[in-house]
A and B are shown apart, each in its own frame.
Chain A
Amino acid sequence: VDTGSKRPAKSVVLGFLRRHPIILSLTPVVVLMIGMYIIPLIILLGVSFEKFVPGSFVPEPVFTLENYNRAFSPVYMKVLTDTLWVSAVTAVLTVILAYPLAFYVVRSQSVTRKIVMAFLITSFFVQLIVRIYAFLHVFGDGGVLNQLLLFLGFHKVQWLGGWWPIIISMVHQGIPLAILVQMGSIKAINPELENAARILGANDTTTFRRITLPLSLPGIIASAVLSFTGAASAFVTPLLLGGGRVWMVANYVYVRFTDVLNYPFGSAMSVLLLVLSLVAAYGTTALLSRYVKIK
């Protein structure tokens, strides 16, 4: 084996890597993220302007706006606005419900804290599909909720097919992550600041409104954004809890790609979903951080 002539080349490479540890350690992640994430997203954007060939995976490479024309037609705009408000309601409810719990887990010294935390982590890891199955038993035609209504002497209500089972299920899914995200900024608040405000004569409400809330805002913003984009891209929940009648943007994406194989139109819907998420992320951040500055 001719190692003699290879050794210099090898040591040049090794020496280079030793002198440039950053390049060595970042190459894998950069290659993966550019090659398998950014480039596919660019291709997706490109395909969304191409023409659908029925029955083929490969679209005809001619520039067309027809996919977007179709996506902006009244039918799909209705889906888009539905997705928007459902996600917004989900995000608001998630943040409001998560905040006191996050506060409790950070500040409490009691024994129950450990139990709450175990619940939090367990529900963080419980599979979406398991939660949905459980919610089917709550909201289903003969489910727990309807049994309760009948027991109390009311009529049965057909819950599935409306938005509320979906919203409640998505809030339930979003809360653990929201708590984890909010905890960071609550932990960073120095309790002395709150004490100082009280000593200076602020009551509990004022202290909370002027000190605690603004200081925990980064976590609130981050959790709001995550809940919103999580809800906006949900498709399994509406698929299984929607009773086949309630559709969100991601459901159309799913059907276009897997059943109809219309990649160009599916791509256009995907791009809209992506834009929606990014606008929501930057919009919420900008809006809420302005609120803090005024205070």
Chain B
Amino acid sequence: MAFDPRRYVSWFPPTGFTLYWFDVFVHDSFFVIGLRSSMIISAVVTAGSLAIAIPCSFALARYDFRGKESLNTLILSPIIVPGIVTGTSLLILFYSYLHVYAAMPGLIVGQTILAIPYVVRTVTASMIGFDRSVEEAARNLGADELQTLTEVTIPIIKPGIVAGAIFAFSTSWADLSVAAFLTDTSTFTFPVAMMDYMRYNFDNTIAAASLFLVIVTALIVIVTEKTVGLDKFIGLW
């Protein structure tokens, strides 16, 4: 449908071939702004949730402490709690209480919260069964703490970290439940732009945008296969 030349509400199958809709898509500032916001936000959310989740996974996988079970429940709860509830509560916090009317901080925080359970899960899974004597061996052979971390520990848990990053990115990239609430005139994500467009228009610009997203998805899957391997990726879940 993305290549359909008909200029009105048109149904499958297409009647010819044109690149007109891609032209509309790339020149529509609405989509372009959305795409730019989405890319910035997803990158920050991925980096942020990794930075927060990796140390947490270390603690969960290696130590026993009081309240570990409750902490686990707390961290995994955003999967059960409807995303829309997370979105609305952050909206109230930022608008009514903190009087911050820019959407960016809330968006980043909200999507990080949605991503954290997935990242913690995959990174923790990659640490379970980790043979700690390898680290001790490195220390005995003269490596300091930092070297042991960067040369031994991180390479071993790398599949978990990469899988976590992929989860975090795609959670943020596809999120609508937080993003639908936290928008302002210059900050709205690409899915929100598409949703708003679809509410009032039904033409093939959406097909062009969808095709673009499908290509991005295919790239994510290819990157997953090349870095972690699909089998391992599924296994980490």
Contacts and interface: CB of A to CB of B under 8 A. Distances in A.
Contacts of A274: 81-82, 85
A187 to B, nearest CB: 8
Given A32-B112, A37-B113, A26 B85 contact: no
B206 A233 contact: no
A214 interface: no
Among A37, A39, A126, A274, residue most surrounded by chain B Cβ atoms (within 10 Å): A37
Interface residues of B, number: 68
Nearest to B174: A127
A23 to B, nearest CB: 9
Contacts of B220: 125
B92 A236 contact: no
A215 interface: no
A287 interface: no
Contact of B88 (A133, A140, A257): A257
Contacts, number: 197
Given A133-B206, A254-B84, A257-B88, A114 B230 contact: yes
Contact of A125 (B174, B191, B195): B174
Interface in A32-60: 32-33, 36-41, 43-44, 47, 57-59
Nearest to A282: B80
B203 to A, nearest CB: 11
Contact of A29 (B11, B52, B90): B52
A129 B176 contact: yes
Given A33-B74, A59-B96, A277-B80, A25 B221 contact: no
A247 interface: no
A170 interface: no
B127 interface: no
B192 to A, nearest CB: 9
A22 interface: yes
Contacts of B186: none
B55 A25 contact: yes
Nearest to B109: A36
B152 interface: no
Interface of B: 1, 11-12, 51-53, 55-56, 58-59, 63, 65, 71, 74-75, 78-86, 88-93, 95-97, 109-110, 112-113, 116, 120, 170, 173-174, 176-177, 180-181, 191, 194-195, 198-199, 202, 206-207, 210, 213-214, 217-218, 220-221, 224-225, 230-231, 233-234, 237
20 contacts: A26-B59, A29-B116, A33-B116, A40-B86, A40-B89, A44-B88, A118-B230, A129-B198, A129-B213, A144-B12, A147-B11, A226-B80, A229-B81, A235-B177, A236-B195, A239-B195, A258-B181, A270-B88, A274-B81, A281-B80
6 shortest interchain CB distances as A-B pairs: A233-B82, A25-B55, A40-B89, A142-B11, A44-B89, A29-B56
Given A181-B237, A233-B177, 16 more contacts: A21-B63, A26-B55, A28-B52, A40-B89, A43-B89, A122-B217, A127-B217, A129-B195, A136-B202, A143-B11, A233-B82, A233-B84, A236-B176, A253-B84, A274-B85, A277-B85
